Amino acid sequence: MNEILLLEDEESVSRGIAFTLEKAGYCVYACDSIAGAEQVFRERMPELLICDLNLPDGSGLDFIKRIRESGKGIYILCLTALDSETDFVVGYGAGADDYVAKPFSLSVLLLKVQTYFERNQKTGKVMLCSGNIRVNRNEMRVWKGEMEISLTMTEWKLLLLFLEHPKQILSKNQILEQLFDTEGDFVEENTVAVNIRRLREKVEDFPAKPEYIKNIRGMGYLWTRECSRF
């Protein structure tokens, strides 16, 4: 049974989420404080975290950062009453994978959870290998040859996007939608180029002459190597 950690201090909201997810067959550990959630995380290592951002004993963003720094692979879905682009970008920067803005529909939240688990079950294989780049999806770890490299959450999502679509040209808008869950209307023009440059600096031997990530003029970017899964 898939295990979910729910961190939400508003009792009625927490109860509704837990009931909906448990009815759908998931095991839910509901906590109303960061301290409680940290204990459950250490003891149970759940696969998915649903996390409110404003909590009685601290910031949900700080909790998310600590989880990402621990190196443990977990999908993080934020619940927030904040809905500005800046708030979303800050959350993604802290390590969130997706957002649901309050007030929200329980059916929409359930759909996001189901989609995540169904996608994982379909892929099954957790290791990706392309050239001398290796990725462990579950642990969110990346190696270049024998050396492990550290990526930001945005760089991680960008690399995974390329490895899931090798030898396929991805447009700037496609990349923006995947990285920031937006159509790009409020994102700076050079956002994609900046993140591509940063990723190249970590995965390429010679970033100025990239072998993996090519710029296809007027079309987008291409990961040039095949990708194996195992």
CB 194 within 8 A of CB 221: no
Say whether both 135 and 171 belong to one domain: yes
For residue 11, is pLDDT > 80? yes
Q: Where residue 103 sits, what CATH number does that domain have?
A: 3.40.50.2300
**Shared domain check, 169 and 79:** no
Give the C-alpha separation, 186 to 169, whole Å.
23
The domain of 111 spans 3-123
pLDDT tens digits along 167-183: 999 998 888 877 765 44
Choose one of 123, 151, 179: the last residue of a domain. Answer: 123
pLDDT reported for residue 87: 60
| Integer-rounded Cα radius of gyration of the chain | 18
Both 132 and 118 in one domain: the answer is no
Among residues 72, 104, 123, the one where a domain terminates is 123
pLDDT tens digits for 117-136? 877 765 555 788 999 999 98
Q: How many domains does the chain have?
A: 2
**Residues 15 and 102 placed together within one structural domain of the fold:** yes
Q: What is the pTM of this model?
A: 0.55
Which of these, 153, 164, 155, lies nearest to 128 by C-alpha position? 164
CA distance 132 to 137: 16
Backbone phi and psi for residue 149, each to the nearest 5 degrees, phi listed first: -115, 150
Residue that terminates a domain, selected from 67, 92, 123? 123
Mean pLDDT of the chain: 86
Q: What angle do CA 97, 161, 141 make, to 5 degrees?
A: 70
Same domain, 37 and 84: yes
> Residue 14: which H helix or E strand, with range?
helix 11-23
| pLDDT at res. 89 | 66
98 and 151: one domain?
A: no
C-alpha separations of 197 from 118, 143, 181, 188, 208 in Å: 32, 18, 21, 15, 9
Same domain for 7 and 117, yes or no, is yes
43-59: average pLDDT: 90
Same domain, 117 and 15: yes
